[in-house]
Amino acid sequence: MIKCNIFWFRRDLRLNDNHGLYRALQSDLPVIPLFIFDREILGRLDNPGDPRITFIYDEISRLKQELESLGSSLLVLYGRPSEVFEEILSKYPINAIYTNHDYEPYAVWRDEAVHQILRERNISFFSFKDQVIFEKNDVIKDDGTPYTVFTPYSRKWKVLFRQSALPQYPSEKLQEFFFKTLPLEMPTLDRIGFNRSNYTFTERLVDELLISNYDKTRDFPYLEGTSRLGLHLRFGTISIRFLAGTAARLNEVYLSELVWREFYMMILWHFPYAAKGAFKPAYDRIPWKNDERQFQTWCDGNTGYPIVDAGMRELNHSGYMHNRLRMITASFLTKHLLIDWRWGEAYFEKKLLDFELASNNGGWQWAAGTGCDATPYFRVFNPDLQAQKYDPDNIYIRKWVPEFKDKTYPPRMVDHAQARINAISIYQNAIRK
């Protein structure tokens, strides 16, 4: 068998505009496309019907069919990546592994473990920037240190973005270089420990009219005013370069949302401790109440605040929550109930189809006031004012909390005014110690 290279799909489940795949297909050797259902990641999921696994499984099946139409296939395996590569290397004469960067703490550790196996066999490991426009030290201050405030980061990001053309990686034009002889079977959902979900997933369609009006519609949860492409960005079924280019042409506010995503990725890269603790360590001293009964009431959407409950019920039912509601519900949990932001972060991690560690962590720390923010602890959202401003006719609330004016609707867990006073006092005392 002739030598070949491997392209390892991870958060880039597409054949077009794929940087690492493009580089692999430019090599002088045929390319084996590979996807690994990672036992380490799947083992952390406690819901056998987790809809994200169905989404990934269907996208992998789609990729496999596309590759088979080109006379190749997709090698799909299940296990721990280091063990899977040991098995692959015993079967195929591999020259090099190609993939795209992944920046989360587990991914960094996983890639180093695989790289070590390859080094011992003198096999090259090439990784490329693909899921972001700018990474790591691409956008830093003039003194070489990372930004910790969004506004100046965003300003610098946009300057750099407009100074250079988006790179082009037309991997779809090099498909004749795929390895031809591969096994056709792939492990079933049951084999990897999951059941098929009946969730409805959004399509990877970029609605240019919606993006053009994004700044006018994005804050109103009763409108179809957001792109719902977070799931596709998370798993790379759409190209960030294509989406950023579209946003730059159509709507500056939408582009800024993409910059927020990269800002939080950069924060977690430079300050990995923030994945488990407060970005501002003084806020780890907050004496959270952590009432389990109140936490469950929040999870179930029975707080007595209709806008909060609507957001939580939408999340529980659909795996999606409008971004305005993510801020409102997170603020309520951390400020009104004084429950540790990490509890809410973990709940969103379980439920959100578009869960992305950096964005979820950054959003929760923003709401809790523990993250990168100049005015943290005294920002306490008033749920009633938020509802009046962003759902004035109760359209969104009626959809998810139809009983909100009935006697059956639960009384409010806490009084907003008193909860706000308590939160500010507790925060002040904690960070001044």
Tell me: the pLDDT tens digits for 72-87?
889 999 999 999 999 9
pLDDT of residue 375: 62
Beta bridge partners of 9: 35
Residue 34: its H or E element: strand 31-38
328 three-state secondary structure: helix
Domain count, the chain: 3
159 and 260 share one domain: yes
pLDDT of residue 431: 85
Tell me the per-residue pLDDT of 355-406, one tens digit each, with 9 for 90 and over. Answer: 999 999 999 999 999 998 766 678 899 999 999 999 999 999 999 999 999 9
Q: Of the residues 288, 316, 349, 382, which is catalytic? A: 288
Give yes or no: 260 in active site: yes
420 and 303 share one domain: yes
Confidence of residue 216 (pLDDT cuts 50, 70, 90): very high
Choosing from 270, 294, 321, the residue where a domain stops is 270
Give yes or no: 341 in active site: yes
152 and 241 share one domain: yes
Q: Of the residues 323, 382, 394, 422, which is catalytic? A: 323
Copy the structure tokens of residue 385.
């004012």
Give yes or no: 257 in active site: yes
Give yes or no: 366 in active site: no
Tell me the per-residue pLDDT of 293-346, one tens digit each, with 9 for 90 and over. Answer: 999 999 999 999 999 999 999 999 999 999 999 999 999 999 999 999 999 999
65 and 146 share one domain: no
Choosing from 225, 250, 270, the residue where a domain stops is 270
387 and 334 share one domain: yes
pLDDT of residue 70: 87
Query: Using an 8 Å Cβ cutoff, are 56 and 186 in contact?
Result: no
323 and 377 share one domain: yes
Q: Which domain holds residue 327?
A: 275-431
Residue 406 lies in a domain: yes
For residues 57-78, average pLDDT = 93
